[in-house]
Structure 1
Amino acid sequence: MMVRKVVNLVVLIPLAIVLVVLCVANRQTVTLALNPFRPEDQMLSTSAPFFVFLFLAFLLGALVGGFAVWLSQGKHRKRARIEARSAARWESEADKHKKRADDVVANQLPKLSSR
């Protein structure tokens, strides 16, 4: 838990500072053209302050990276589910045997006390 706080301080705080500085320095409006053959086409272009595009690129990178990590960890999540089901089966089997042993002891106890 402490490592996570250190990572937040060492990585995320400087990253946030850099993003704020970039936003302040890049307030001018730019046009993003999505048509490489006709950049002047107004249908496939949008204008916004440059920092908006910086934030969108950062957000898109974070989402794509998170999705990639989620996909790569799928085999570990699957194994954890299988192990959890197996543990639940073993636990119910142990409970069944414990109940059976308790019943045997309970049936033997009156016989032993009557002797």
Structure 2
Amino acid sequence: MAKRIVGWLVLIPLCAIILIFALANRHLVTVNFNPLITVDTTQPAYGIPLFLVIYAILFLGIALGGIAVWFTQAVHRKAAKRYKREAEKLKSELDAARRAPAREPDPALLAADELA
């Protein structure tokens, strides 16, 4: 319950900060992905709000970071899968060994027990 309360205590101010940031940056900006083109002031320019540009870049960074982490953790996922298969194999071998009848004792050991 405390974890949920702390989560809400962090989430509510964070949402408020994001909302205030969006309201403070509503002015329109023109986005151009080609740095070699000069801006022609005679043509009408279509803009998008600055906060959308920043949020889009933030989302893209989070997505690319998540993809990079996912690829780097592939080694660990592969090892975990291999260890799981090995554990299942060893468990089945152990179960088979437990089900197998006990072997007869070696006659030399029986003779040694009788002498003792």
Q: TM-score range by the shorter chain?
A: 0.5 to 0.7
| Structure 2 residue aligned with 1:36 | 35
> Are the equivalent residues in 2 in contact too, given 1:33–1:39 (CA < 8 A)?
no
Structure 2 runs not aligned, ≥5 long: 103-116
Distance 1:46 1:12, change over 3 A: farther
Distance 1:75 1:39, change over 3 A: same
2-structure distance, mates of 1:62, 1:36: 25
| Structure 2 residue aligned with 1:47 | 47
Confirm or deny that 1:74 pairs with 2:59: no
More strand by share: 1
Distance 1:58 1:12, change over 3 A: farther
What is the TM-score of this pair, normalised by structure 1? 0.67
| Structure 2 residue aligned with 1:97 | 97
Count of matched residue positions in the alignment of Structure 1 and Structure 2: 97
Structure number with greater Rg is 2
Distance 1:14 1:33, change over 3 A: same
2-structure distance, mates of 1:61, 1:17: 22
1:61 Cα deviation (Å)?
Answer: 1.1
> Are the equivalent residues in 2 in contact too, given 1:31–1:48 (CA < 8 A)?
yes
More helix by share: 1
User: Which region of structure 1 is more displaced relative to structure 2, 70-79 or 50-59?
Assistant: 70-79
What is the TM-score of this pair, normalised by structure 2? 0.67
Structure 1 runs not aligned, ≥5 long: 105-115
Residue identity over aligned pairs, in percent, reads: 35
1-structure distance, mates of 2:26, 2:16: 16
Any idea what SS the aligned residue of 1:40 has?
A: coil
RMSD: 2.7
Distance 1:29 1:54, change over 3 A: same
